[in-house]
Structure 1
Amino acid sequence: MKIMVAIDESDGSLYALQWALDHLFLHQTTSTPPPEEAEPSMITVVHVQPPFQMPYTAVPVGPVLFATPAVMDSVKKAQEESAAEVMSRATKICEQQRIKAETMVIRGNPKEIIVEAAEQMNVDLLVVGSRGLGQIKRAFLGSVSDYCVHHAKCPVLIVRPPKSSHK
């Protein structure tokens, strides 16, 4: 079974990865190897970096600002460092469970890229976390998990974060 887990910087997405590892993979407690005919499950962890977009307004309010090459390089470096940190955390979670994972960092619109990657990789299951946006925020901002459910050609599992214990 090919499983793809989409992650971002949120704790909810890393929780979804942990949940998938805990619930979708059989952990071998004995030293007996699995039967030859059994195909090992494979997990791919994908992080999508949104493209850098210059802020703009429809009506000029003051002087127009353009990003210099130095600013663009700085933003790109910060994105790369953020992606490396996210993937490091994800890899550590997989290693703790003794599960090898393939990792990928892709640039683009997360909603569309996740669905495209799942289709190109021919995954059997796509796992995404849920940030728990309310109905109004979801209507205006959209939801990656909602988009995946409606556009992916494979089953999609949305893992909601546990309710906080503090009230």
Structure 2
Amino acid sequence: MTHYIVGLDLTDDSSYALSWAYKNLFNDSDLVTVVTVLPGWTAEADIDPVSPSKYTPEMIQDEALATERARNIVLEMEKTHTEKHVEAYFRVIHADRDPKEALCNVAVNLKGHTLVIGHGLNKNSGFGQWVLDHSRIPVVVVRPTHLEI
């Protein structure tokens, strides 16, 4: 059993990465933790999450949206790929630090074997390249199949 950590923001590229990984990378009985990093105020959010009683209404809404998106993708994959079953968990991290660093740290803290990210994850910030350069676990970068011309 392999434990995959999938970074999921609210872009189509990261949604595609989760779908692609389900179809092509995950095997029956693998463990998958889908992680979304959202803004927050705790410096150690990836280790010691913010107490839900301290969430702002915006944090609650963003967390619900991120979790619903991840669950819907996994449910759709389960319907179309009935030959395999992965154990999926969903985790939203509220961090005031750089989301790249928070994602890499949570992947290690959750004892992930492989981190999966979408090619377009925060394109303008160099997110993917930073994760490739700094992750302490192997990284799979999923590129969309369409060409941008």
Q: In which range does the TM-score fall when normalised by the shorter chain? A: 0.7 to 0.9
Is 1:46–2:47 an aligned residue pair?
Answer: no
Rounded Cα–Cα distance in structure 2 between residues aligned with 1:87 and 1:25:
15
- Equivalent position of 1:100 in the other structure: 87
Counterpart residue number, 2:47: none
**Following TM superposition, by how much is the alpha carbon of 1:78 offset from its aligned partner in structure 2, in angstroms?**
3.1
Structure 2 unaligned runs (5+)? Answer: 42-54
Q: Which runs of 5+ in 1 are unaligned?
A: 28-39, 53-71
| Residues 1:73 and 1:153: Cα distance change in structure 2 (over 3 Å) | closer
Which has the larger displacement, 103-112 or 150-159? 103-112
Partner Cα distance (1:79, 1:12) in 2: 18
Cα deviation, 1:97-125, whole Å, max 9, x if unaligned, reads: 33221111111232111100111122111
Count of aligned pairs: 129
Amino acid at match of 2:65: S
Mapped to 2, the partners of 1:118 and 1:144 lie a distance apart of 15
Amino acid at match of 1:143: G
- Paired position in structure 1 for 2:119: 130
The question of whether the paired residues in 2 share the 8 Å contact of 1:16 and 1:128 is answered with yes
Question: When the two structures are superposed, what TM-score results if normalisation uses the length of structure 1?
Answer: 0.65
Superimposed CA distance per residue, residues 77-105 of structure 1 (whole angstroms, 9 cap, x where no aligned partner): 43233223323323324533332211111
Change (3 A) 1:119 1:83: same
Identity, % of aligned pairs?
A: 28
User: Which amino acid is the alignment partner of residue 11 of structure 1?
Assistant: D
Query: Which residue number in structure 2 is paired with residue 24 of structure 1?
Result: 25
Structure 1: which amino acid aligns with 2:125?
G
CA distance in 2, matches of 1:163, 1:100: 29
Kindly provide the CA deviation profile for residues 143-163 of structure 1, in whole angstroms up to 9, marking residues without a partner as x.
Answer: 221121111111111001111
Structure 1 contact 94–100 (Cα < 8 Å) conserved: no
Aligned residue for 2:142? 159
RMSD after superposition: 2.6
CA contact (8 A) 1:126 1:155 kept: yes
